Structure 1
Amino acid sequence: MKLEELDRFLNTYTESERWHLQQGPQVLSPRYQAIARTWFAGREMYLFRFKTLLENRYVCVNKESRFTHIPEHIHTVIEFVYVYAGHCTQMIDGREVTMQQGDICLLDTQVPHSIGYLGAEDIVITIEMQKDYLTRGFLQRLGNNGIINNFLMNALSQNAAHDQYLLFKKREENPIHGIIQHILCESYDPGLCSDKMIDAYMVLLFCEILRQYKNQTFSGDPGTRWKIVDILDYIENHYLTATLQETAQIFGFHPNYLSAYIKKETGRSFKELIILQRMCQACFYLSNTNLPVCEIAQKVGYDNLGFFYKKFEHLYHVTPSHWRELQHNG
């Protein structure tokens, strides 16, 4: 399917939509009779499992039917809700969330939510994925070359593991829309290697979401004008020389406050972040150069080769040489 055909395809009434136009907005589709209900958070709601759609794949794509609503339910999978056109209103665990065209929402498993009535102009796309696809196997593929990526991916996956949702508002330039268009084209008109293409576009989608998450992640303390990502960026660029005292002075904090703030936001101490960044840089050298391990250790700030080996193996559970071999062998 070509991109110019996609809008026409999405706006064409489906059989379900024609049925809802005849029955009225309050009548649920007969398919709900076969969907299990469960007692959750003190009330009864539907349980969407997606067993059939995800039986032999990690990702499935769906256009939600217009001229109806989706009653309160929970998922056993991770879900993206993307407003392709128009708008939609979700109730997420009792909180009203209004989404406009271009907004995307990441919902964890076990998050009670519903979607209000969708009119003729409201095109809402959902992308379901098995949780392992996000929390383990998939995010690791995005790379771990620095403490910022490490923090952002952990934040995203941890939020998606604690009954949460993340809302990303449309930016003036919206690369997400084009990425989702390609995912839809491959899903609705599959061809050779479509599953691989969708997988590749999902990587791009997550990379763009990580960029937006970086721009939206502010400290929970309204009196703090610095984002944690700014501090991580400084540590990432000055990992060979940065000290807690110097970093605190640059950002206008007392060293004790900065230490506690970093620990709260990242789950790691300042010293641990320095070590992590050094090891990330060592991994880059191991993957992309033929430098001997002893020289790499010196380049990332370790004159004591034994200490470098100890810290590397503690983080990656293999020796630097074995790590290099694994990377070269794919």
Structure 2
Amino acid sequence: MNPRYERPGVPSGTTFTCFTRRERSFGFAWHFHREYELTLITAGSGTRYVGTDVEGYLPGDLVLLGPDLPHTYASDQQSEAAVTQFRHDFLGAGFFELPQFAAVQSLLSRSARGLYFGRHELHADIAALPRLAPADQTVRLLDVLQRLAAGTAATPITGAGYAAAPSTAVRDRVDVVCRHLQQAHTEPVVLDEVAALVHMAPTSFSRFFRRALGCTLTDYVNQLRVETACRLLTTTSLPITEIATRSGYHNLANFNRRFREQKTMPPTHYRATHHRGVA
């Protein structure tokens, strides 16, 4: 139930790894690693989980995650991504401390909360990375990082209150809860039952959860439910009332209020502007 610690393999002839991830579906696999991770979605859609943040992803989404930041991508359809994983010293110890790379150093520091770039002009360059020879990959990756650092479009993903990997004990408890909620958020969520998963009293758990994640349990559950509603709104023609129920809301007024809080628009407007087809 804990996040899986990954140790990405590095191919011979290089100091970092770059690959295309192509699967019939992206399964929920909550994990973290010591490498930075640059991920470009090239096909498919689903849900991205980073720390406490829950958002849908589409082709063209570009994200840079810092080390030890728990994350996963989940979908029930064929998806593809260009993924590059590298350590801070992949070009040598102290390389990014050189004055000419101060902007890249700042970019990497800010990625501790995850950075979302949306659809970026560098997409073609990043998508081609896995197909290049190691020397060309290295030059291209450095160029990509420098150009990302020079831009202004990066948006932090996790809230300011979230600290990646605060401690093993804290992270393990949080990740037990997050994995459970990913599967159970459309059903009634009872504080006592969730607290019991990590052997804590409800009051102590509430304080722990907010201190560890920077949001309340209710806030996090609402993020999961609204993201489920977004997926149903964009991929089906189900009535709004049915979508509310399937997302875990049995009161339509509450659903509309929570949805508007997170998406700054009512569900009907969201469907009209984001609908991708009927399932």
TM-score scaled by length of structure 2: 0.48
Bigger Rg, which one: 1
**Bigger relative contact order (CA 8 A; separation at least 6):** 2
